[in-house]
Amino acid sequence: GLALFVSPQLFHWLQKPLQGVLPQGAHFIVTTPFESYTAYFKIAMVAGILLGSPLIFYFFWSFIRPGLEKKERRGIVPIALACGFLFIGGALFGYFLVFPTGFRFVTGILEGTGIVFYPKMSDYLSFSLRLLLAFGIIFELPLFLLILGKMRLVNVQRLRAGRKYIIVGIFLVAGILTPGPDVLSQVLMALPLLVLFEVGVILVRIFGPKPVLSPADPLPAPR
């Protein structure tokens, strides 16, 4: 209920990156009678999930807690907090850095053409929410790698060996996610992903399972 009440203000905040680069006289439009109400309801749903996520996590934690060992109980809370901070950080990164640069490029293409850009409210809302969600999920990369390491699905050697392929994949993902095709937006998206990947490698090296030497393996030479 509260989220629905503040939905207009939330949309005002959400549309700022595009509104700030629109040419003079351009503005958002609606093409159906209930489009604005549907958009505000969608914003309220997303905001409600985000605001209620601590409670959702609490119920989920209460459900799985009896089946966890004491050591696992201590580790899940920091992981959950890190997950939340990384998701929010990814969404804020997209909003404050990638959105303005990408939208400025897209609207700049129309300069001098006589075409006026009137973005549709519902289309922009769906587009921006999907991108913010994608940014938030992608910023979970270090935790994702750590979990894979804990499950022994990856190790530091394998990650280092596949680094060049992962770098190419990161730039491909950056090209898909950025609003505009300009190189600057793609680089702005790719650089933090590269940093997050390296952070994930460090986490796997520190907290991942250590290789167990078999009796046939030589012991490391003393220093």
Let me know whether 123 and 148 are in one domain.
no
Q: Using the predicted structure, report yes or no on whether residue 198 has a pLDDT greater than 90.
A: yes
What range defines the domain where residue 77 resides?
A: 1-136
pLDDT of residue 180: 64
Q: Assess if residue 215 is contained within a domain.
A: no
Helix residue ranges, H only, 94-162: 99-108, 121-138, 141-150, 156-161
Same domain assignment for residues 24 and 109: yes
Q: Is the confidence at residue 51, as pLDDT, over 80? A: no
Are residues 50 and 33 located together in one domain of the fold?
yes
| 222 inside domain | no
**Per-residue model confidence as pLDDT tens digits over 99-134:** 888 888 888 888 878 888 899 999 999 989 888 888
Q: What pLDDT does 223 receive?
A: 46
Query: Which residues sit opposite 199 in a β-bridge?
Result: none
Residues 1 and 85 in one domain: yes
Q: What is the pLDDT of residues 82-105, one digit of tens each?
A: 888 888 888 889 899 888 888 888
Q: How many helices (H) and strands (E) does the chain have?
A: 12, 0
Q: Which of 21-35, 76-90, 201-215 has the lowest mean pLDDT?
A: 201-215
